[in-house]
Amino acid sequence: MQGVFGVFGVFIGTLLIGLREGLEASLIVSIVGAFLKRNGQTVRPMFVGVGLAVLLSVGVGVGLDLFAASLPQAQQEMMETIINAIAVVFVTSMIIWMNGNAAQLKGELEREARQAVNRGGAFALAAMAFLAVLKEGFETSVFLLAAAETSHGNRWFAVCGGAVGIATAVGLGVGLYYGGLRINLGRFFRVTGVFLVLIAAGLVLGALRTAHEAGWVSIGQQQVLDLSGWISANSVLGAVTTGVFGIPADPRLIEVLGWLLYAVPVLVIFLWPARLAAAPRARGRLLAATSVVLTIIGAGLAIMTPAANPSPSLRARTVTDRSGHTAVVSMVTGPHGRELTVAPQGGSTVHHIVLVPAGDQTVDGVPVQVWQASEAAGADGAPEVSLNQLLSMTGGRLPVGLAASRTPGPFQGQWSTTTEYTVFARGDSVVSAHATSNRTAILTGGGLVGAKTVSLGGLATDWSTSGAEDHSTAAEIVAGDRNRGERQLWNVWLPLVSAGFALACALSAIASVRVDRGHTDERKSIDGESHRLGSVPVS
């Protein structure tokens, strides 16, 4: 049942996309075709241009999909983020443009077709149709690809939904072309436009989530809502909400803010009634006031949001060796680069170990840098060792190749010890660290036929950090990152977004004032001309 509803939601979402975008392209073709038919021109060059545009649009979509699939997982998330962002820009510009220019669309297309016929005949007409349809086709390909990328494994159903929507749009276009079909296009574009805005808002949300998975966005990741009980995946409501509008059951703070900051302004602009549209001067004043309010809000967020709590001092960690002795280890930058300092508690000597980078890992969800060092010690054992002494060094087990009956000892030994230091650090904070030694001896005599190298294990001075404290340290780092990210969201990024909206309102206000001045100057010119004509003396 869950799969059926999930497929239904994805299918309906891409069907709406294909229907809306496809009908725009079909309208272009039907308007131009009807114009050519009325003027006795052939429509064959137009269909050649349309066919080439469709093929190129499909090629762009398939090429982007294949390219994204060939990337590693992290880069796939980056590519999905970019595709979603491009799709949002395309659909937003298309919706707003169509909302303001739909009434003039027919006249503009017929004028362009007339110019194409007058300029170059068939070739110019094919080029005009190609460019007109290519824009719609490219937008459709990117929008459908973005929807398919966020379809949660139902890519083919997303493609089928888009294909059905486009096929339906083509059928409607044929009906419009032959005049047997009448559609209230204004109402159609208004209703589908609302759906497309909500779908695009879902793409904004999806882009923010894939950006987080790609490592681009780390702020505002705390879950603010739990919608699992309301939009259950095994219900029609859940399928439509998630599959069509891309709203997950566990939205994060940055995703909710992104959804609201996109959907609310675009819906207000799109649905604002024409009869309530303000005059240029009043609109300029309203936009200027809005710009001031947004500036004040942004400044207030930047100034009044409390600063992030300082990160706890996690640089030093306590380690314990096999004998129970403790020491304090920390990461510092010394004259030779990164160093690990080991200071035994109660002692006065500090051991400095120069480290080298050894890659990156993740410890309890915390990305860390791995640092390593190796130190070799000289002879540290007696030149002569008995079999019982070897037994005590190895914990009661003789090294392979030695036996009391065949090699009773004593042996002559040449000793060497190597200690490996490994540190997992986040900056100067030690998340985990350990020192492991390996003691070897080259034995001769004592019944041995020749020299034999044996490993005698580690030393009592081997140390490590506590596993429980490692988890606690990682949790503190995660909490500190989350706290800094949340504060950064409220006192840096949201003020910047507010400033961006304020700047857009200010520029729109300036444009409205210029339009109003232009109208005023035009009226003054007309009034002056009328006054001059009215003042001419009659002889």
For 484-530, what is each residue's pLDDT tens digit? 888 888 888 889 989 998 998 899 888 888 876 766 655 666 555 55
Segment 471-481 shows an average pLDDT of 86
Q: Is the pLDDT of residue 74 over 90?
A: no
Q: Is the pLDDT of residue 207 over 60?
A: yes
CB 428 within 8 A of CB 315: yes
Nearest to 83 by CA among 216, 240, 204, 260: 204
Nearest to 54 by CA among 169, 153, 147: 169
Helix (H/G/I), strand (E/B), else coil: 97? helix
Q: 534, exposed or middle or buried, with CB in 10 Å at 0-12, 13-18, 19+?
A: exposed
- Could you tell me which residues come within 8 angstroms of residue 96 by beta carbon, excluding any fewer than 6 positions away? 266, 269, 270
Structure tokens, 73: 């997982």
Least confident of 170-179, 325-334, 344-353, 380-389: 380-389
Give dist(CA 62, CA 389) in Å, integer.
72
Band the pLDDT of 2: cuts 50, 70, 90.
very low
- Chain position carrying tokens 């100067």: 428
Q: Is the pLDDT of residue 63 over 60?
A: yes
Segment 401-421 shows an average pLDDT of 81
Q: What is the pLDDT of residue 532?
A: 56
Output 79 or 105, whichever has higher pLDDT. Answer: 79
Q: What is the pLDDT of residue 292?
A: 93
For 293-346, what is each residue's pLDDT tens digit? 999 998 988 888 776 555 555 678 899 988 888 999 998 888 888 889 998 887
- Dump the DSSP string for 406-466: T----EEEEEEEEEEEEEEEETTEEEEEEEEEEEEEEEE-TT-SS-EEEE----TT-EEE-
Structure tokens, 304: 């009044």
Q: Is the pLDDT of residue 539 over 60?
A: no
Percent of the chain at pLDDT > 90 equals: 10
User: What's the predicted TM-score (pTM) here?
Assistant: 0.67
Band the pLDDT of 424: cuts 50, 70, 90.
very high
- Could you tell me which residues come within 8 angstroms of residue 73 by beta carbon, excluding any fewer than 6 positions away? none
Output 361 or 136, whichever has higher pLDDT. Answer: 361
Give dist(CA 477, CA 431) in Å, integer.
9
